[in-house]
Amino acid sequence: MLRPVRGRLAPSPTGHLHLGNIWAFLLCWLGVRSQGGRLVLRMEDIDPERSRQAYADDIMRDLEWLGIDWDEGPDCGGPYAPYTQSERLDRYAEVIERLTAEGLTFPCFCTRKELRSLASAPHVGEAGPAYPGTCLHLTQDQREARRAAGRAPALRLHGTCETIAFTDRIRGPISTCWQECGGDFPIRRSDGVIAYQLAVAVDDVDQRITQVVRGDDILHCTPRQLYIHQLLDAPAPEYAHVPLVLDAGGERLAKRHKHFEIRALRQGGARAQAIIGDLAHRAGLAPAGTTCTPQDLVHGFTFDAIPKAPIVLEHDIEERLTRMV
């Protein structure tokens, strides 16, 4: 039996949206709307130091201006509320308690600096150094001694699977072993903050997400999240990892690229339809120079048209968007 299509826009309110965010959000929106599904807006404000309500408000304002809407979210509620991670801490604690009771977690007293310095921790690309199991088999006395010395532990999830495989809508079949995706990973930081991997996976399970569209810089995280789905006896969503948007120098867009922020483009005179049309052209969905709304692109949308190579913006992209009418 086919599950109803449910996708999610999951911004972190730690800054303003830029063109790279909207590239992934537009494709996510089209993937859901073209199948008659429902879209969730989820604020991933799990980082208490950087998250701000003002950013969350601006994110919703930018999305609405661009014509990217949602059916459930922090502003309108829904059957799987709350849709803000900071309001779901009790749920994450419940899952951690379950995984711990099943013997799948262990305290880790290693610092990042210590792990980087270990020769036995080979680097595995975006996932970083593979965890070498340093604290996995510590005795209770050894753990207490470290706590007595003032070392606060993170909590890691121990992997009991050898290989995780899935088929990505953009990248095709992917298979990776546990060490290749970083090995045993933290689900709660040493300061008590819930780790991204756990929060995202639990949210996707609880909110019945069936389709995840996001940048391929997150591809290395997917096996970890799939593993959590398995442990929670939940069906996995379908994934589509889209290429990143780069500036003219080949650097990945980030929140420090202020001139690529949607609000900066809007203030500079760019129209929403020009931004959507330009991104649609780069996705292989519209001719160059097109101005359109997201709704104009729904009919006939397919992930097959999306390129696999990174999207490189031109030096004069802001000026070009402003000229499009």
> Do 100 and 16 fall into the same domain?
no
Evaluate if residue 281 carries a pLDDT over 80. Answer: yes
Q: What is the pLDDT of residues 170-193, one digit of tens each?
A: 999 999 999 888 999 999 999 999
Count of alpha carbons within 13 angstroms of residue 321, beta-carbon side = 29
pLDDT score of 122 more than 60? no
What local confidence, expressed as pLDDT, does residue 259 receive? 86
Share of the chain above pLDDT 70, in %: 96
Mean pLDDT in residue range 298-320: 93
Q: What is the mean pLDDT of residues 82-95?
A: 98
The verdict on residue 65 lying in a domain is: yes
Rounded Cα–Cα distance for residues 85 and 11 (Å): 11
Which of the residue ranges 102-106, 289-293, 313-317 would you say has the lowest mean pLDDT?
313-317
The mean pLDDT of 51-71, rounded to a whole number, is 98
Residues 6+ apart with CB under 8 A from 58: 16, 17, 263
User: What's the pLDDT at 162?
Assistant: 85
C-alpha–C-alpha distance, residues 317 and 288, integer Å:
13
Q: Quick one: which of 45, 25, 147 has its CA closest to 92?
A: 45
- When divided into structural domains, the chain yields a total of 2
3-state helix, strand, coil in the chain (%, to 5): 40, 20, 45
What pLDDT, on a 0 to 100 scale, did the predictor assign at position 324? 87
Q: What is the mean pLDDT of residues 55-59?
A: 98
Q: Based on the domain organization, do 50 and 114 belong to the same domain?
A: no
Phi-psi region at 212: left, alpha or beta (left = phi > 0; alpha = psi -120 to 50): beta
pLDDT > 90: what percent of the chain? 86
- pLDDT grade, residue 113 (50/70/90)? confident
Q: Which among 215, 212, 218 has a CA at the least distance from the CA of 182?
A: 218
Establish if 237 belongs to a structural domain: no
* Same domain flag for 290 and 194: no
The pTM of this model reads 0.94
Same domain, 51 and 151: no
User: Which range marks the domain in which residue 280 is found?
Assistant: 6-87+243-323
Same domain for 183 and 97, yes or no, is yes
CATH number for the domain that contains residue 290: 3.40.50.620
Instruction: Quote the radius of gyration of the chain (alpha carbons, Å).
Output: 21
